[in-house]
Structure 1
């Protein structure tokens, strides 16, 4: 059996970088701003770890970080953050539609969202849209799961 290899998301960012960009994007969307303390709390990691990640993302041109002021996304960072949030939303809605519990959905989406190609996301989005527009088909599929 081949050795397991570490995979990197399709956009070249590490999983940790994607998680950080997703949190920054979500915080800015909901609160209007993103602070290290909020990012750390949401990710369940230390503020020092978040600061290191943000400094790396700043050097890569994804965020603008001003110490004691907060974090903003550059156009590139916003593009990546929006794409991650979109993948997360599609996967969450799809799995929730089948009646999976919130904890399972959260855990599985966190694993899947980082390794999905644009073409796979497009397929899953089409399936989601069809299922959301066809309650009878969704009921039929849910019954088959039981």
Structure 2
């Protein structure tokens, strides 16, 4: 089936286009931080502790990378730790983790409702959750709830 654009899909006005790109840049800037605090929160919940080594293994990065990112999270007031101890979320970090978890769950449920396989939905949701607006999340959630009512 050939792909075609509608007239409404034409190049948007420059101010709207600039807002679109600004939104994407902002999402890219925060997605790594959200992923880290979400994972740290999940590790604390499911394992009782969040060690840097566990974060590195689950993120597929080196411990040096985790150390740099954790230092940034600390400077932003999202994470706290003590030498040779587990990582902990601050109140702000917990709020960010909860928001990220909620967004992730909505996108994951939406993709599953569309018939996307679980493994693909999990991979796709991991990136999409950072790039959808609140409006889109609300529509996804309504759609998923309506599918459950059928």
Q: Which has the larger radius of gyration?
A: 2
Determine if contact 1:7/1:115 at 8 Å carries over to the other structure.
no
Gaps of 5+ in 1: 135-146
The Cα shift of 1:13 comes to: 5.2
1:100 pairs with 2:150: no
The Cα shift of 1:110 comes to: 1.7
User: Aligned partners of 2:87 and 2:133: how far apart in 1?
Assistant: 28
Specify the SS of the correspondent of 1:115. Answer: coil
1:92-132 residue CA offsets vs partner (Å, 9 max, x unmatched): 11212233123321221122111122232222222212212
Give the TM-score taking structure 1 as reference length.
0.79
Equivalent residue number for residue 109 of structure 1: 125
User: Aligned partners of 2:55 and 2:77: how far apart in 1?
Assistant: 19
The Cα shift of 1:61 comes to: 0.4
1:41 pairs with 2:57: yes
User: Aligned partners of 1:56 and 1:78: how far apart in 2?
Assistant: 16
The Cα shift of 1:14 comes to: 2.4
Number of equivalent positions: 132
Deviation >3 Å, runs of 4+: none
User: Aligned partners of 1:72 and 1:46: how far apart in 2?
Assistant: 19
